[in-house]
């Protein structure tokens, strides 16, 4: 930790006597660098995450990916050796329960269903929407790809940045925007982002539906 003097939110709750429960992408960190203080329980969905120090990855041998793989026109025919940059695609809707963010949401739901005898803090972070923008087909079906309006792009938007930062952003733009436009894939990439935004929203909704049920259970 670069700043061990900074107290994390879960540590504050733990000091106040709360049970603290966490899952998913709550902090942006590299594998093995997560602040582990203050958690009563942090959910890890497989052995790799235990061994890797709570790696943020959502895609491994136990989670579905589109077929053929890789799926996007940007990566088609490439050998993926690390990362899934500018990658998007649909997985069969019947495999939704196997997806990492769904598994995390279901874990959070199970925590809310339990009877708690003291205050608790529950945090559940989702990876979506984030490359690779993979989610079940039904979320892609919510949007008409051809009807998607691409956002306005200001050509000199980076002009007022410091030189070093501007060069970094310009290089990023060449890969992330210019290449997609040249390939005719700008709307496809947006389609993947919108689909995964709706998928993430559905997972939030899955958890948010529980408070009423939780209140009833804890009044018995």
pLDDT digits (tens, 9 = 90+) for 118-147: 999 999 999 999 999 999 999 999 999 999
Model pLDDT, residue 210: 72
Residue 49 in any domain: the answer is yes
CB 59 within 8 A of CB 84: yes
Q: Decide if pLDDT at 207 tops 80.
A: yes
pLDDT of amino acid 214 = 52
Domain that holds residue 29: 9-218
Which pLDDT value is given to residue 206? 94
pLDDT, one tens digit per residue, over 16-56 is 999 999 999 888 777 777 777 899 999 988 777 767 776 76
Place of tokens 């529950």: 122
Name the phi and psi angles at 198, rounded to 5: -70, -35
Distance, CA of 154 to CA of 88 (rounded, Å): 25
1: in domain: no
State the Cα–Cα distance between residues 189 and 131, nearest whole angstrom.
10
Query: For residue 90, with 0-12 CB atoms within 10 Å meaning exposed, 13-18 middle and 19 or more buried, which class applies?
Result: buried
Query: Is residue 127 assigned to a domain?
Result: yes
- Does some domain include residue 4? no
pLDDT the model gives residue 193: 97
- Tokens (6 digits) for 65: 């990916």
Domain CATH code at residue 149: 3.40.720.10
In a domain, 58, yes or no: yes
The answer to whether residue 203 is domain-embedded is yes
State if pTM tops 0.85.
yes
Residue 161 located in a structural domain: yes
Of 179 and 3, more confident: 179
pLDDT digits 0-9 by tens, 72-105: 999 988 888 777 889 999 999 999 999 999 999 9
- Over residues 52-78, the mean pLDDT reads 84
Identify which has the larger pLDDT, 122 or 169: 122
The three-state secondary structure class of 189 is helix
* Total of domains in the chain: 1
Q: How many residues does the chain have?
A: 220
Given pLDDT bands bounded at 50, 70 and 90, which one contains residue 218?
low
Mean pLDDT of the chain: 88
Note if the bond before 181 is cis, omega within 30 degrees.
no
The CB-side HSE value for 210 (13 A sphere, CA atoms) comes to 18
Percentage of the residues of the chain whose pLDDT score is greater than 90: 60
Residue 2 lies in a domain: no
Note the pLDDT of residue 204.
96
Beta 41-43 vs 120-125: how paired, if at all? unpaired
């Amino acid at each position: 930790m670069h700043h061990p003097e900074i107290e994390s939110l879960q540590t504050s709750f733990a000091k106040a006597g709360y049970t603290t429960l966490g899952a998913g992408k709550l902090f942006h960190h590299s594998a093995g660098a997560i602040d582990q203080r203050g958690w009563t329980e942090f959910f890890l969905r497989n052995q790799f995450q235990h061994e890797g120090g709570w790696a943020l990855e959502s895609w491994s041998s136990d989670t579905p990916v589109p077929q053929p793989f890789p799926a996007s026109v940007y990566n088609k025919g490439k050998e993926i050796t690390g990362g899934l940059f500018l990658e998007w695609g649909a997985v069969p809707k019947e495999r939704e329960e196997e997806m990492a963010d769904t598994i995390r949401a279901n874990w959070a739901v199970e925590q809310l269903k339990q009877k708690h005898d003291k205050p608790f803090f529950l945090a559940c972070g989702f990876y979506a929407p984030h490359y690779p923008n993979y989610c079940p087909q039904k979320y892609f079906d919510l949007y008409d790809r051809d009807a998607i309006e691409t956002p306005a792009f200001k050509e000199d938007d980076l002009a007022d940045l410091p030189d070093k930062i501007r060069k970094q952003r310009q290089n990023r733009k060449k890969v992330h925007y210019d290449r997609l436009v040249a390939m005719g894939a700008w709307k496809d990439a947006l389609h993947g982002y919108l689909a995964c935004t709706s998928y993430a929203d559905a997972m939030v909704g899955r958890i948010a539906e529980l408070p009423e049920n939780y209140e009833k259970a804890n009044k018995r």
